[in-house]
Amino acid sequence: MHKFANPVRFNRLANTLLPWTFALTVTLFAAGLYYALYASPPDYQQGDSVRIMYVHVPASSLSLAIYVFMAAASAAFIIWKHPLAVLAAKAAAPIGMVFCGLALATGSIWGKPMWGTWWQWDARLTSMLVLFFLYLGYLALWQVMEDSNKAAKISSILALVGVVNIPIIKFSVEWWNTLHQPSSLIREGGSAIDPSMMTPLLLMLAAYGLYFVTVLLWRMKAEMAEKRLELALREKASWS
């Protein structure tokens, strides 16, 4: 991966990938939403409210995966001083925070008719809320610190410390009593989801994943352009 630390190589790779990832994202979202809203049947217990699963589950899964990605990128920055690693983590954070917020909001909307309450302080919901604040704290560090090098180091440490929350979220329904149901997609003995509902769910998971890759590449290119602009302005100020 160190060969992609060169900004020119990275930009070349990003420019090659972006048209494909964008096209696939749009295609998968169109197919996923069609199956989710029209082609899949209502649940025999939840009725049409089950359709929120096709938004909630991918958002929740990607919010966890993105934080793990941030932690891995932060580790690469701290250990190997990979110059683009911290930019990748910084670019990923807003996307992960939006997905986490979407998961909390859709879960609350689903919970009202299913549980009779918008919110419950159980282990899964509380640990997901903690994840949202970890994202928020990570981004806040970049905003409040004027020294970008110091911000990179401290935010990377926060990302690594916060990753301990990920297994808590994942296994909270098994470790403690909780209103939240266990995983139906990946579990011992195979998936409990009917194939007619599995298709839109997998399509939406793939769409969310490719959306993340697409926006991540865009944001990284924008961060690099901003760095080049800052450097050019400094050089111009030094000559004047």
- Domain assignment present for 87: yes
Token duo for residue 29: 């979202």
Could you give the count of Cα atoms lying within 13 Å of 199 in the half-sphere of its Cβ?
12
Query: Does residue 38 belong to any structural domain of this protein?
Result: no
Residue 47 CB-density burial (10 A; 0-12 exposed, 13-18 middle, 19+ buried): exposed
153 has a pLDDT exceeding 80: yes
Does residue 67 fall inside a structural domain? yes
Q: 165-219 pLDDT, tens per residue?
A: 999 998 887 776 666 666 656 555 545 577 888 899 999 999 999 999 999 999 9
Q: Does a structural domain hold residue 32? A: no
Residue 169 lies in a domain: yes
pTM above 0.85, yes or no: yes
Helix (H) or strand (E) holding 14: helix 7-34
Most distant CA pair in the chain, distance = 73
Query: Is residue 33 one of the residues assigned to a domain?
Result: no
User: What is the SS3 assignment for 27?
Assistant: helix
- The answer to whether residues 95 and 66 touch, using CB atoms and an 8 Å cutoff, is yes
- Considering only residues 236 and 217, tell me which one the structure prediction assigns the higher pLDDT: 217
User: Looking at the chain, how many residues does it have?
Assistant: 240
Structure tokens at 79: 């250990």
- Asked whether the beta carbons of 77 and 26 are under 8 A apart, the reply is no
- Give a yes or no: residue 55 inside a domain: yes
- What count of other Cβ atoms lies within 10 Å of the Cβ of residue 21? 20
Structural domains in the chain (count): 1
pLDDT in tens, 112-143: 888 788 888 888 899 999 999 999 999 999 99
Task: Give mean pLDDT, residues 222-240.
Answer: 75
- Residue 96: give the domain boundaries: 51-239
Angle at 204 between CA 99 and CA 128, to 5 degrees: 30
pLDDT of 235 over the 80 cut: no
**Unique residue bearing structure tokens 């996923």:** 32
pLDDT in tens, 3-52: 656 788 899 999 999 999 999 999 999 999 999 999 998 887 788 888 99
- Rounded CA-CA distance 202/205 in Å is 5
Q: Does 27 fall in a domain?
A: no
Average pLDDT over residues 56-74: 96
- ∠ CA(139), CA(76), CA(207), 5° rounding? 65
Residue-wise pLDDT for 73-105, tens only, equals 999 999 988 879 999 999 999 999 999 999 999
